[in-house]
Amino acid sequence: MKLRRRNRDHQPSALAHPGSAHVGVRTLTLPSAVCASFAVTGYPREVGAGWLEPLLTYPGHLDVSLHIEPIPQQVAAMRLRRQLARLESASRSDAQHGRLADFAAEAAADDATHLADQLARGHGRLFKVGLYLTIHAATEPELAAEVERVRALASSLLLDAQPATFRALQGWTTTLPLGVDSLNATRTFNTTALAAAFPFTSPDLATTVGETGVLYGLSATSSGVVVWDRFAQDNHNSVVLARSGAGKSFFTKLEALRLLYQGVEVAVADPEDEYARLACAVGGTCLRLGAAGVRWNPFDLPASYGPHDDVLSRRAMFLQTLCATMLGGAPLTAQTRAVLDSAIIATYQAAGITREPATWSRPAPLLADLVATLTGSGQAADSPEAELAVQFAPYVTGSYRELFDGPTTTHPSGHLTVFCLRDLPEEMKAVGTLLALDAIWRRVANPRDRRKRLVVVDEAWLLMKEPEGARFLFRMAKAARKHWAGLAVVTQDAADLLGSELGQAIVANAAGQILLRQAPQAIGAVGDAFDLTDGERQFLLTAERGEALLVAGPARRTALSIVASPSEEALATTDPKVLAELDLPGQHDQPRLLQAHAAPPPGPPDFTEITTSQNDNEESDPL
């Protein structure tokens, strides 16, 4: 590139060569624009989280460059001692000569003392930081107007931006992504002040972020990112509500994928077969209940249990819940429940399984054995046992027998387990979801294998419409935290979730609620349940796909736009148009364009306790 200096008053109409640049006193003229650079030399005494946000969100073409260089501990301590000695000497001299106290010097001495104390205790470090701005415009008159606006904005932040006079070229190169500070106009920052200047800091959602924090997206009201850690909350549950096509499953798959990066085990009850491609890409396990040759025996006893667990009694109680769902979902009468409980215990005893733990490893009976127990007791045709046997006939000898016609073929295992239920008939979806959740819960509640887990129930309305299924989901929501697990309830039918006491209790036991676009017919119930303002209701009615409202309590909520990398988007999308563009033959096949796994994003820092102090003149700089 050819560089040619020009006089300040010289206004070239065009550059002599396409690759040339004219360097002025305060401006740099490029082939397609003119720019001016500034160095920030004065700072406020105190700053908060995200104090650079107004500059980062400036609507014009503004480059903001932050150069950071750590200061060695010994050098920092020596300079702080010298600064303290100089400030103390000046203060004593003023007192001896009867001069008025210099309050700026006193404030600088207090800051230097605080920094020295932090440095000595190892609570932080000191850094040399340079903050530079480059403003771009099409013409010099436009540049002058932009410069006035940016300097006024910087002044409102108590930042003193000085032009790079006679160093326009060096100022421009300093703000390029080269990592070179040609101006070297630095100030001293401590660790917390530098963390508060982090470009992606956002004060929108003040919450604790731990080691399993997940990037949800970009804030809709600022330039910050929204990072949420469900395992750092009071409980680890969440609720995702949205109408069809708003992106709720896309968001849930993104969170599950990013939690896998953190070593969290994920299990999914998937009624629509939307997670199979994700499981295939990350090496997970996919169990297709209802597919040919796949069997599932609900009488199986868990392989691991505690020393005081009554496994047989717990299995019998679950089988009563399952049978109630299989028989139409209506609550069992007291007589029917008693008859069913006796038949279940007798069926286990016929297979040699009793309350003795030594017998629990024997082969479990089948559903057909339960029907045989009910019909083999010599009861009359109108007896409760015979009526139950008739109602179980479709699952033993009828259209639904294939799933229960034999021992379990595949046991769930691995870091990602997906129970695909699309192959089940609609009448069996609630039963399949209950079986999947039971299998997942047995892994979660295993006392010998404690780890962070996420249980995802997609299209939860299928289970919520069944009274027994709703109660089972409620028990999971209440007990998940005790087993270091989180329950993510995803549904598009707000009425089924919010229209019952159990559904409202599930929402109340969720530390995080993610609301995407809502239908006008449901916004009233959703708004009342989550105490939404009129503005938040309007946002949910007009939100685009991928825009959401994260609610984490009455005072902690933020609007966000869900973001994903191209690899993540290709794994999580179910848009037929996108799948066709990827040339995928079907959702059951491994995507040939997605062989490489996406790298995990870096863990976000914690910005919840950022308070610091900096001074607004040279004398107050401790170094």
Residue 133 has pLDDT above 90, yes or no: yes
What's the confidence (pLDDT) of residue 555?
64
Q: How far is CA 467 from CA 327, 496, 535, 590, in A?
A: 12, 11, 35, 37
Per residue in 315-336, pLDDT (tens digit) is 999 999 899 888 886 778 888 8
The radius of gyration computed from the CA coordinates of the chain, to the nearest angstrom, equals 33
Per residue in 336-394, pLDDT (tens digit) is 889 999 999 999 999 999 988 888 889 999 999 999 998 886 666 678 888 888 889 89
Distance CA 429, CA 427 (A): 6
What's the confidence (pLDDT) of residue 596?
31
**Confidence band for 182, pLDDT divided at 50, 70 and 90:** very high
What's the confidence (pLDDT) of residue 381?
66
Distance CA 170, CA 251 (A): 44
**Domains of the chain, earliest start first:** 2-201+611-620 (no CATH), 222-290+412-564 (3.40.50.300), 295-409 (1.10.8.730)
Helix (H) or strand (E) holding 611: none
Distance CA 590, CA 277 (A): 6
Tell me the whole-structure pTM to 2 decimals.
0.67
Beta bridge partners of 267: 417, 455
Say which range, 18-32, 285-299, 371-385, has the weakest mean pLDDT. Answer: 371-385
What's the confidence (pLDDT) of residue 267?
94
3-state class (DSSP) for residue 587: coil
Closest CA to 391 of 329, 437, 435, 433: 329
Distance CA 118, CA 112 (A): 10
Name the packing angle between helices 311-326 and 467-479 (round to 10°): 140
Residue 35 has pLDDT above 60, yes or no: yes
Q: Mean pLDDT score of the chain, rounded to an integer?
A: 81
**Confidence band for 610, pLDDT divided at 50, 70 and 90:** very low
Distance CA 550, CA 515 (A): 6
Distance CA 89, CA 619 (A): 13
**Confidence band for 465, pLDDT divided at 50, 70 and 90:** confident
Q: How far is CA 156 from CA 37, 48, 161, in A?
A: 19, 14, 11
DSSP E strand stretches across 235-315: 238-241, 265-270, 285-288
Per residue in 75-117, pLDDT (tens digit) is 777 777 777 777 777 777 877 777 777 776 677 677 777 676 6
